[in-house]
């Protein structure tokens, strides 16, 4: 671990310690964070104090350890809401099954859960527990709920456990946690990752004044671009005609027709790590585009249409293809039809949404998504597209990182 990789100078880390045997590693973690230059404040649950004393962590962090939500002396010095706002990052290590359950349930029954709920900064948990507890469906569900809310899980690792068993449940080593903290605070979770997105509708010209299009506003795609940027990714956004400004720092390429969108994507996709196809690309375009405005001479007219290229299928067919995420716009059975599309398009993940009707994802500020990948599925409930995009990016990051680990050609970040 080089010094540059773990430079945390000027960064403020709130470390939560909960009651498991791995709490003894918190001492090493505080030392590592301090050594990297971070200002560290420690909050312990009452269970944690049974495994390691507050005095130890006070001595190592240089600050009194907070334990009580209703401590008048501490509240007068720095109230809990102030402390929640103070942090650049909240790390709970170790995070027990009980703590995860309470956080997933939205409880604020002690200082640490209250801080995790009150903070607007990113929260990461380093789970540590017996392997059976980690594998238990209740814990798996709680982990999934927390992930959907944007809480990051670091670990657990597999190996020998304090209870004598072997399996997943070991807390990541302090060095690894310091490294990950530095990476998130320096670069964001996706620092150095190139993301290419499509968004909005396409317009297929009939004549110089008329076109075929759809109801896509671009809101979902632009929200995704912002959420990826917030995670430190380099983002290029190829968009059809929309009435939106690109998020700061996002490179916008404006196009009209599907064929132009395809060219823009193919020019940029080489070397990109993640491709997300959120655009509502017109499936057909007129075979002939009239040079002049078509006159209404006859009572009826027909327009011959031809299939547009499938941009997403073109990207998934590439030899060195990026991690591919598609969308599926359905008017019914999003899970079933989305799964079919995931397989037929050969994508790593698909986000299916309902379109048309009152719940439709087009144009509105809110949406809901059923996210599917091989062997997994999660539902992201109706919320504004900004929050939804953050939750989807979180899911993508998890699958992308897991995929990188499974595929030795692309090393994990």
Interface contacts to ligand PMT, rule CB under 6 A: 198, 200, 216-221, 258, 277-281, 283, 308, 310-312, 326-329, 341, 353, 355, 361-363
Give the nearest distance from C-beta 255 to ligand PMT in angstroms: 12
State how far Cα 284 lies from the chain centre: 33
- From the CB of 55, what's the least distance to ligand PMT, in Å? 53
CB of 283 to ligand PMT, least distance (A): 6
Q: Are residues 177 and 154 in contact, defined by beta-carbon separation less than 8 angstroms?
A: yes
Output 179 or 280, the one with its CB closest to ligand PMT. Answer: 280
Q: Which residue has the tokens 């059976």?
A: 132
CB 351, min distance to ligand PMT, A: 7
Q: In the bound complex, what is the minimum distance in angstroms from residue 406's beta carbon to ligand PMT?
A: 23
Q: Is 163 a catalytic residue?
A: yes
Q: 174 or 352: whose CB is closer to ligand PMT? A: 352
Cβ closest to ligand PMT, residue 30 vs residue 388: 388
The residues, ordered by sequence, that sit 6+ positions from 280 with a Cβ below 8 Å of its Cβ are 200, 201, 202, 214, 215, 216, 240, 329, 362
Q: Do 286 and 304 contact (CB within 8 A), yes or no?
A: yes
Which CB, 139 or 308, lies closer to ligand PMT? 308
| Contact by Cβ (8 Å): 23, 94 | yes
E strand or H helix at 266, and its extent? helix 258-268
Sorted by sequence, the CB contacts under 8 Å of residue 367 that are 6+ apart come out as 220, 353, 361, 382, 383, 385, 388
Q: Cis link prior to 29 (omega < 30° from 0)?
A: no
* Of residues 160 and 374, the one with the C-beta less far from ligand PMT: 374
What is the C-alpha separation between 233 and 274, in angstroms, rounded? 10
Give dist(CA 179, CA 237) in Å, integer.
Answer: 30
Q: Which of 163, 272, 278, 377 is catalytic?
A: 163
As annotated, the active-site residues are 163
């Amino acid at each position: 671990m080089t010094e540059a990789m773990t430079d945390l100078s000027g960064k403020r880390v709130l470390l939560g310690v909960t009651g498991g045997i791995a709490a003894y590693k918190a001492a090493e973690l505080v030392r590592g964070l301090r050594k990297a230059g971070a200002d560290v404040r420690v909050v312990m649950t009452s269970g944690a104090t049974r495994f390691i004393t507050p005095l130890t962590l006070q001595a190592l962090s240089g600050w009194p350890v907070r334990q009580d939500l209703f401590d008048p002396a501490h509240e007068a010095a720095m109230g809990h809401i102030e402390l929640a706002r103070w942090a650049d990052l909240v790390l709970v290590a170790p995070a027990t099954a009980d703590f995860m359950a309470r956080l997933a349930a939205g409880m604020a029954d002690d200082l640490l859960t209250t801080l995790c709920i009150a903070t607007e900064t990113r929260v990461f948990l380093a789970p540590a527990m017996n392997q059976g507890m980690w594998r238990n469906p209740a814990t798996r569900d709680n982990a999934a709920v927390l992930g959907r809310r944007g809480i990051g899980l670091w670990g657990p690792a597999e190996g020998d456990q304090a209870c004598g068993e072997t399996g997943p449940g070991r807390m990541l080593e302090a060095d690894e946690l310091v490294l990950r903290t530095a990476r998130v605070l320096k670069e964001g979770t996706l620092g150095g990752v190139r993301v290419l997105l499509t968004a909005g509708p396409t317009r297929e010209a009939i004549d110089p004044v008329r076109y075929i299009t759809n109801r896509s506003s671009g809101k979902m795609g632009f929200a995704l671009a912002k959420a990826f940027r917030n995670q430190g990714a380099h983002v290029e956004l190829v968009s059809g005609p929309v009435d939106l400004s690109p998020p700061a720092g996002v490179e916008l390429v404006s196009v009209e027709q599907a064929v132009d969108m395809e060219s823009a994507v193919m020019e940029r996709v080489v070397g990109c790590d993640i491709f997300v196809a959120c655009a509502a690309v017109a499936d057909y375009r007129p075979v002939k585009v009239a040079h002049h405005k078509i006159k209404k001479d006859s009572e009826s007219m027909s327009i011959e249409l031809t299939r547009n290229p499938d941009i997403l299928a073109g990207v998934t067919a590439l030899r060195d293809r990026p991690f591919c995420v598609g969308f599926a716009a359905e008017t019914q059975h999003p899970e079933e039809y989305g799964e079919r599309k995931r397989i037929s398009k050969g994508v790593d993940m698909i986000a299916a949404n309902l379109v048309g009707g009152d719940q439709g994802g087009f144009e509105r500020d809110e949406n809901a998504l059923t996210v599917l990948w091989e062997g997994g599925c999660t539902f992201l409930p109706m919320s504004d597209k900004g929050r939804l995009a953050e939750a989807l990016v979180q899911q993508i990051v998890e699958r992308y990182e897991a995929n990188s680990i499974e595929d030795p050609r692309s090393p994990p970040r």
